[in-house]
Amino acid sequence: MAKALNVHFLDHSKRSLATHVIVPSNNERTLFTLCAALQHMWLVTPRWLTQSFQSGALLPERFFGSRLTAAPLSGRRVWCDPEMLSVSEKNGFPASHFATLVKCGEG
């Protein structure tokens, strides 16, 4: 399928070169997919690949996902309440992830 569509799958070490990220159909987000969105990568469902393969060409991504076109945190100063960080930590989202997201969203 990848060869027929001229799509290249990257290994983990080259993920920063990606232009598209295949995300689960249930819209589950990970730190990587959130950063990918903040870095203007397309977030598309597996249907984009399967239906593109069936049609013989890459179909428009907008029907299968989304992409941010602005840098939402560019020029912003972000502060996070320590209480919110504590709640986040208890729910499995470490405070260090917030710093990663802010860095990703700077544009």
**Tens digit of each residue's pLDDT (9 = 90 or more) over 83-94:** 888 888 888 888
pLDDT digits (tens, 9 = 90+) for 16-40: 788 898 888 776 778 888 888 888 8
Among 19, 16, 35, 22, residue whose Cα is nearest residue 96: 35
Among 104, 106, 94, smallest CA distance to 36 is for: 104
pLDDT at residue 43, as a whole number: 92
If 0-12 CB within 10 Å is exposed, 13-18 middle and 19+ buried, where does residue 34 land?
middle
Tell me the pLDDT band of 1, cut-offs 50, 70 and 90: low
Q: Please tell me whether the overall predicted TM-score, pTM, comes out greater than 0.95 for this model.
A: no
User: How deeply is 5 buried, as exposed, middle or buried, from its count of CB atoms within 10 A (0-12, 13-18, 19+)?
Assistant: middle
